[in-house]
Amino acid sequence: MTEDLKILTGQTQDHIEWLEPKIGIHIEIAYPLNELTQAARNAGYELAIASGYRSFESQLGIWNGKATGTRPILDEDGKRLDISRMAPEDIVFSILRWSALPGLSRHHWGTDLDVFDKRTLPKDYKLQLIPEEFEGKGYFAPLHDWLDKNLSRFGFSRPYEKDLGGVSPERWHISYSPLAQQYWKSLTIDHIRKVLSAIEFELKPQVEMALPEIYERFFKRISSV
């Protein structure tokens, strides 16, 4: 497997700079991210990263956990689905609304981050990364209102800003566009088919059958790169 494909599918950490033990970013976004963070601080916000780089194995664990019911799968209203009443194909697409297929997560690249305002995080509150926290009167809405007006100045964008029938809107998810665009264009369905064919994972037959639709709806269909 080439080094480029390993980066695209989260099977290497060689391109990652670790800010904290579990928070990593692509080494090339360190400067623009620092500039964005400083600008946010000057505006009264403490931009913090909830999730940055995520390995293939980590994404696989999330996938298998949701497919087996040990991790919750949420509906459009944020309520837990009862997968015991669902067909396997429906489980696949319900997972994909909120969680990427291993190998297709933009978090593999280290260019994409889930961010929140640490200043407004209540004490003893567990961050959930759900719309209610980031919209309206949510804890982190003011930061993200500011980001709406300032992200592009630093090269960042929101790939899941709107519901396009693929991934549910994720206001917390930002992406460093100049680099992410290169990876987004480079990762093909044949790459993913090759990686997934070599491993075992939950709902594999259903995923392989639906892979063209998954690739188009949940990877290629985005609001911005």
CATH number for the domain harbouring residue 167 = 3.30.1380.10
Answer yes or no: is 204 within a domain.
yes
Question: Is the pLDDT confidence value at 116 over 80?
Answer: yes
Say how many C-beta atoms besides its own lie within 10 A of residue 82's C-beta: 9
Say if 18 falls within a structural domain: yes
Number of domains in the chain: 1
Is 12 inside a domain boundary? yes
Distance CA 147, CA 197 (A): 39
Phi and psi of 159, rounded to 5°? -70, -25
- What's the DSSP call for residue 216? I
Instruction: Say what the pLDDT of residue 75 is.
Output: 87
Q: Would you say 139 and 122 are in contact if contact means Cβ atoms under 8 Å apart? A: yes
pLDDT of residue 76: 81
Q: What is the pLDDT of residue 139?
A: 98
Average pLDDT over residues 15-19: 98
Residue 138's pLDDT is what? 98
- Provide the residue range defining the domain that includes 174: 3-220
Structural domain includes residue 79: yes
Q: What is the pLDDT of residues 28-81, one digit of tens each?
A: 999 999 999 999 999 999 999 999 999 999 999 999 999 999 999 988 877 899
Position 225 in a domain = no
pLDDT at residue 147 in the model: 98
pLDDT of residue 77: 76
- In degrees, rounded to 5, the angle at the alpha carbon of residue 7 between the alpha carbons of residues 112 and 117 is 20
For residue 109, being part of any structural domain is answered with yes
Tens digits of residue pLDDT in 123-165: 999 999 999 999 999 999 999 999 999 999 999 999 999 999 9
| Residue 155 included in any domain | yes
pLDDT tens, residue by residue, 162-204: 999 999 999 999 999 999 999 999 999 999 999 999 999 999 9
Residue 225 reports pLDDT greater than 80:
no
In a domain, 92, yes or no: yes
How far is CA 1 from each of CA 12, 59, 104, 106, 113, rounded to the nearest angstrom?
11, 19, 16, 19, 26
